[in-house]
Amino acid sequence: MNFGQHSTDYTSADPHTSFAPFQIGSYLFSTVEFGFGVTWANNTEFYEDVANWDTDVTVYGLAANTTSLALDFRGLGLPKASFNKFANLLAVVTKGESTCLSVKSGYCALSQPCEHYESLGLWDLDFKIHFAGEDDNYMRVPLATFAANYE
C-alpha cells in the first residue's frame, strides 16, 4: 500500500511511503505504535497507547500488534482490551458524555449531533498508527472518520 497524492505525473521516484504485510502471503500488518490523542499545530503531540500488547499465545500470540485493512468494514474493529482503553479515554475527553458498549462490534454514542463536538475540539483527536517498516512515517486517522449522526 502506498500513501501519497495522486498525480498523472507520479513516478516511483516521488516521495511516498510503502508498507507490506509482516509475512509473505499474509494480510496482517505489524504496528509499532497505535495511539489515540492529538497533534497540535506547533507539531507537539500527546497520544495514549491503545495498542494490543497481549502476546499470550492463547489469546493473540503472533497476531498481537498487527492489523488488517478492510475497506468494507465500518469502524476500527479493536480487540476488547484496546476498545475499553479507547472508551475510557473518550469518556475523559467528552467529560462523561460518551456511552460505549463493550460488546462484539462495540460502539460509542454521544448525546449531541456531530456538529456540536467540532466547536469543543473533539474532532481534533485522531488515531496515530505507525506501521513497522523502514521509515518513521505514520498515519493519522481523525476520530471524525468514525462519527455519524443517528436519526
CA-only gyration radius of the chain, Å: 17
First-to-last alpha carbon distance for the chain, in angstroms, is 36
| Residue 15, all three cell numbers | 516521495
DSSP string computed for 74-100: -S----HHHHHHHHHHHHHHTTT--EE
137 SS3 class: coil
User: Is the overall model pTM greater than 0.85, yes or no?
Assistant: no
> What does the pLDDT read at residue 121?
92
pLDDT in tens, 20-31: 777 777 778 888
Contact 109, 99 (CB under 8 A): yes
Residue 48 CA to residue 89 CA, distance in Å, equals 8
> What does the pLDDT read at residue 1?
45
Domain ranges of the chain: 2-144
Contact 66, 28 (CB under 8 A): yes
pLDDT in tens, 93-151: 999 999 999 888 889 999 999 999 988 899 999 999 988 876 778 889 999 989 999 86
Beta strands per DSSP E along the chain: 2-3, 17-18, 29-39, 45-49, 66-67, 99-101, 107-109, 126-131, 139-142
